[in-house]
Amino acid sequence: MSKPLEGVRVVELARVLAGPWAGQLLADLGADVIKIENPDGGDETRHWGPPFIKGANGEDLSAAYFHSANRGKRSAALDLKNAEHLSALKKLISTADVVIENYKVGGLKKFGLDYESLSKANPNLVYCSITGFGQTGPYAHRAGYDFIIQGMSGFMSITGEPDGQPMKAGVAITDILTGLYAVSAINAALVKSLKHNKGSHIDIALMEVMAASLANQNMNYLATGIAPARLGNAHPNIAPYQVIPVKDGHIILAVGNDGQFARLCEILNTQELAQNPLFTTNQKRVENRDALTISLTAATTEWARGALIEACENHAVPVGAINTIEDMFNDPHVKARELQIATSLGVPGVRSPFLIDGQMTSNIDTAPALGADTQSILSGLAHGWPARN
């Protein structure tokens, strides 16, 4: 099966997660993604372990972290301070459709690798700059770190228990979302390049991505002037939409309307709750959330987890288990959808979560060794790669 971005060449001048995540998604969609790394150690995440991935003969294949974001790429080890390497890189970019970079603002200009310089030789170039705070503004000079952005954006102020510490997400959510937004903007800019024969400079900032992603919580504030607070696992606008205890653990209830609530009450044999004036509408349930939780908990703790989940599923009440990552990978539905994959060297991985025409698009080439493709890329340039694919 041909992939949507086959024939598109991407030069990735990015490290750690946001930029590489974008590059991996583009590779999964068929692009030829060439990762440019410093010969002295390469991407920092190659060393962010344990755990580390070992090859069939025990050789070091870099940290598991690196493999999470660099599947399906080629690696060229080039030193930007080396005139020969820099010249080769500029020639490579003249053949490219996309550049992804996450250097500090202005950091590439001294090498002639900024958008203004490169677009003169390649006017159709889509150039995506990923930074912490964007290309302008009083914080533009600051480095961006996922954890810090989670705090500054307001995300941590609404995450965690009301009487506990503000909490970050359990994964670098800012970087992941930034990679996704970057791919969306890159693909839109590629369409522009094809239709209008003109490139683009994309300015994407971690701070703005995380702030914009607060969705309904942003609007809750803008509508009221009151900053939302931490609610633990409760939802600010819906109830009961939360973690609830059962006899042998916890489950998630995601009751989104009055009909679902009435059916939940039937299951729990607490029909009086559905008729109680405190709980008859979602608005009232949100306003009386604490009393509702006490009443529901008294009933749910009489149930075993599996039995209550089955009963809710049988009566169209949204419910879910709280899995470990091991549980998730062993879930029969996850197995049936073949989310876990093995790459070309047998390294385990997770496919991109989209199918196109029913087919998996994920590239199964193992994340490259540092500089594994330097010579073949330089040789291709020397033998006259086309100006653009």
The end-to-end CA distance of the chain, in Å, is: 19
As a whole number of angstroms, the distance between CA 19 and CA 42 comes to: 14
Secondary structure (3-state) at 325: helix
Strands 241-246 and 249-254, sheet pairing:
antiparallel
Secondary structure (3-state) at 47: helix
**Residues 6+ away with beta carbon under 8 Å from 219:** none
Burial of 59 per CB tally in 10 Å (0-12, 13-18, 19+): exposed
- Alpha-carbon dihedral angle through residues 19, 24, 30, 35, given to the nearest 10 degrees: 70
H or E segment and range at residue 260: helix 258-268
Angle at 357 between CA 353 and CA 362, to 5 degrees: 40
As a whole number of angstroms, the distance between CA 285 and CA 242 comes to: 12
As a whole number of angstroms, the distance between CA 247 and CA 254 comes to: 19
User: Is 365 among the residues known to form the active site?
Assistant: no
Which of 32, 146, 175, 203 is catalytic? The answer is 175
**DSSP labels, 337-376:** TT-EEE-TTS-EEE--S-EETTEE----SPPPPTTTTHHH
Residue found by looking up tokens 């193992």 in the block: 366
Instruction: Please identify every residue annotated as catalytic.
Output: 175
